[in-house]
Structure 1
Amino acid sequence: MASRSAQATATSKKRKNVDREEAEQDVPGGAGALTTSSSSTKPYKSKVLILCSRGITYRMRHLMNDLANLITHGKKDAKLDSKHALPSINELADLNSCNHALYFESRRHSDLYLWASRCPNGPSIRFHVVNVHTMDEMKMTDFVPPVQALKEHKTEAALKYVGRKEQESSRESRKELINMMRPDDELEKRKVFA
């Protein structure tokens, strides 16, 4: 009995090998075309390290949190103590396995500078941030899907948005059905009263 099951598995393996060989011959490029499939390589994921200096105000901190919520592949880190912390950001990004870094630097508790860089030796740029407004200050954003997605959990917001669209489509379909039925009813009334 065991020998029959072993023979059955051996024949099924032979069939699979024959099918693979036929597929390789059919593909222009031969066996090499099958080995370079996209499933064997991992997708490239860039990560962003988000951190700030000591002494930032509450508005600056809220802006940083809003940006962290926008960037889904971001990692937040603790505040940096030293004033000359720019060279240590590369080491922190390497420890957190991040490719990019956003550093919020506060000077004199009034000026905010945003450093954006590619780690470890890529280009960097410094922005002077003026006129900071956070997501909490925005009004009447409950029904705007992108803003709502920032305020709530992403999947819940997506489900609510899809559900609302389905409700709207069902309302529209009901209205269309009612409108389609009305002319027939009016014709029926005309026939009865005529």
Structure 2
Amino acid sequence: MTKIIKLIVSSSLIIAISFVLLYIISSMYSPQAEHVPLLNDQRVISPEVEQYRPIIAQTAKANGVEQYTDIIMAIAMQESKGKAVDVMQASESLGMPRNSITSPKKSIQAGTHYFKKALIRSNGNLELALQSYNFGLGFVDYVKARGGKYTPQLARQFSEEKSKKLNWANYGDPKYVEHVMRYYTNEKQKRALTKKKN
């Protein structure tokens, strides 16, 4: 009886591993896989955001953060996918209600300036700066008071505490770093693939 159970368990394990391998191989060779290897993930910079690259690059350079141009593109993607006039959803960083900015260029200028402030306040820690872009600069102080190192757990904790305090259903996006970095990484992979093909 024990031998039969062991045989069933090992057979189930082999079948499960085969399914995983089959999924990975099919992802690699599906038509969508040209976008992002293994992921079949189309979350890359959209044409709507890509059209703002010259303004974003110029504004990033003017703010001394030109090495973060692609990160700023990913922020714009996460914030609006290029489908709102306030491309970087930066109105609140100026103390105004949401979507008060009525020009994409002004949104990019305000958003890039705020990202730079978050980066300086975070002592160059990109993850902390990104999450602070979403939560507000007070998140930097919150993290500094709790060891000074950004963690997803601290982001979740901060979001929960702020939600309770403000009596809101939720506060910000505690997975903001992961979401922005997904666009950034996927776009890099897509470009690397395109370069190989050419």
- Higher percent of residues as strand: 1
Higher relative contact order (CA 8 A, sep 6+): 2
Higher helix residue share: 2
Give the structure-1-normalised TM-score. Answer: 0.25
